[in-house]
Structure 1
Amino acid sequence: MPEPRADAQRNRRNLLAAAESAFNAHGAGASLDDIARAAGVGNATLYRHFPTRQQLIDAVYEERIGALCVLAEQMRAAEPAGAALPAWLRAVVDHISGSRGLRDAFVDAHHLGAGSGAPQLAEWHRMTDDAAVPLLHDAQAAGTAHPDLRAAELMALVAAVAHAGGGDPGDARRLLGFVLDGVGRRP
């Protein structure tokens, strides 16, 4: 399949950025007309890229989840063993607590578990768990995380923190600090 034209790629990027902003501000029910206008395109262009509202929502959140997974790899390469995990978890909480839609999707994905609910939620669950595994193993090997903690359990805790933070990244970070204290291995 040929690569989309440069203007089509630009329109898609602009639509995703405008949609993310709108969904963060107004939730999943944000006006599609306003999103198209903010992206500098017409409604036909929006619907050509994203025939349904749900496809647009999924694309926005898929992009954000993908960015978190890439960040996990980058932090693992840049941070000392054991330090990358809490740094990444703080970034995850910051990233999702600022977006009501992403927070709800993340909580649903980690509450329902892989294989339950919408296929997209199960895929996000798998992606974030897979991103957490090497960081958690490094922390366990460094002695900074309980050796019996599983990535799925850790991500469920993070989802609960993001939900309990109620959209305030500061509150979510504070709660995450308590969780990380409990996750940390005691001497």
Structure 2
Amino acid sequence: MADGQRADARRNHGRILAVAEQEVATHGANASLEQIARVAGVGSATVRRHFPTRHALLEAVSWQRIEVLCARARELTGTADSREALLAWLADVVTYCVAAKGLATALNYEGDPVQGNSCATAIEQAAEPLLRRAVDDGVATADVTVSDLVTLMVGIVTATEHHRDPLATAERLFALAVKGISPTG
């Protein structure tokens, strides 16, 4: 009997996640948990048993994209120009967050202090060598953290998500953040 329950629980988890991916793609981080339960054919308590918080559900939906961003950070760590490598990775974070509704929220660093934020932790661990190399090369300040940079990218994406062209606006603001507002002289 227990094996049947575990198999059923696995099926429910898979159905919930598949429906959640569609709902988040359509409605973003505010996708209705009740709608996800309804379409998956389970009760809302079942959704909450598998994903106790909205953030846990967003992390699960976003995990594949997080893995791509982590792999990209590791790939760029070997690039000759550490500044360009770091900026390329940050630009990828912006692009992915604009394209994948809910991803910026999944990366939000103000997560549950007990449960943590597995997406944020994975990103931080993957990008830390990329940032450290830029710091060691003198092209990034020593007091900046991956968390700071991702929070800045998430802020840009969140602020532009309702613009006519969110990607173009986010890219422009990212470039402004990199350049600064003071004229060079």
> Which of the five TM-score ranges fits, normalised by the shorter chain?
0.5 to 0.7
Q: Which residue of 1 aligns with 2:25?
A: 24
Q: Secondary structure at the match of 1:117?
A: coil
Partner of 1:173: 171
Aligned-pair CA distance for 1:86: 0.5
Structure 2 distance, partners of 1:19, 1:100, is 12
Q: Is the 8 A contact 2:94 2:153 kept in 1?
A: yes
Among the aligned pairs, what percent are the same residue?
A: 27
Counterpart in 1 of 2:117? 122
1:145-175 CA-partner distances (Å, limit 9, x unpaired): 2233222222222222222222612211111
**TM-score (normalised: structure 1):** 0.65
For the 8 Å contact 2:58–2:106, the answer to whether it is kept is no
Name the count of aligned residue pairs.
161
Where does 1:52-71 land on structure 2 (aligned, <5 Å)?
56-71=57-72
The answer to whether the 8 A contact 2:59-2:118 is kept is no
Is the 8 Å Cα contact of residues 58 and 120 (structure 1) preserved in structure 2? no
Q: CA RMSD in A?
A: 3.5
* TM-score with structure 2 setting the length: 0.66
Q: How does 1:1-187 map to 2 (within 5 A)?
A: 19-27=20-28, 28-29=31-32, 31-32=35-36, 43=41, 51=50, 56-77=57-78, 79-82=79-82, 83-107=84-108, 109=109, 112=110, 117=112, 119=114, 122-166=117-161, 168-182=166-180
Runs of 5+ unmatched residues, structure 1? 1-7, 37-42
Cα 1:22–1:53 change in 2 (3 A) is farther
Range moving further from structure 2, 172-181 or 117-126: 117-126
Match for 2:168: what amino acid?
A: G
- For the pair shown, which has the larger CA radius of gyration, 1 or 2? 2
| 1:142–1:19 CA distance, 2 compared to 1 (3 A) | same
Q: Residue 24 of structure 1 contacts residue 100 of structure 1 at CA under 8 Å; is this kept in 2?
A: yes
